[in-house]
């Protein structure tokens, strides 16, 4: 995969990770509502909240890893190929 496609793919991964991280907020509020209605008890609520918090930590590490990976891409600048102008990217390793 060339550097441009790699960057686009990583951006897509980050967008999906952010979406999943935001879904965790809904899960947590759903638990709170169920607790207030009396559908679940306190220990069950605490256990599920802990699971959600752990998942959030994992997703944060995942997204931070890929955000740092995007920062390592370095562009050579604008090049003109025929009639098209392109910006080339090269990953730094």
For 65, which DSSP code? H
User: Which residue pairs from 49-55 have beta carbons closer than 8 angstroms and sit at least 24 positions apart in sequence?
Assistant: 52/24, 52/27, 52/28, 55/24
CB 92 within 8 A of CB 72: yes
pLDDT in tens, 15-36: 999 999 999 999 999 999 999 9
| pTM, entire model | 0.70
Task: Please state the three-class secondary structure of 26-61 as a single string.
Answer: HHHHHHHHHHHHCCCCHHHHHHHHHHHHHHHHHHHH
pLDDT in tens, 30-75: 999 999 999 999 999 999 999 999 999 999 999 999 998 888 776 6
- Token couple for 35: 């607790």
Domain ranges within the chain, ordered by starting residue: 3-91
């Amino acid at each position: 995969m060339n550097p441009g496609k790699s960057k686009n793919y990583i951006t897509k991964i980050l967008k999906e990770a952010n979406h999943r991280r935001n879904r965790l907020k809904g899960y947590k509020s759903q638990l709170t509502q169920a607790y207030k209605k009396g559908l679940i008890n306190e220990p069950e609520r605490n256990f599920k909240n802990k699971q959600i918090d752990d998942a959030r930590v994992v997703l944060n590490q995942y997204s931070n890893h890929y955000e740092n990976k995007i920062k390592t891409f370095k562009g050579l600048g604008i090049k003109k190929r025929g009639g098209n102008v392109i910006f080339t990217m090269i990953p730094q390793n």
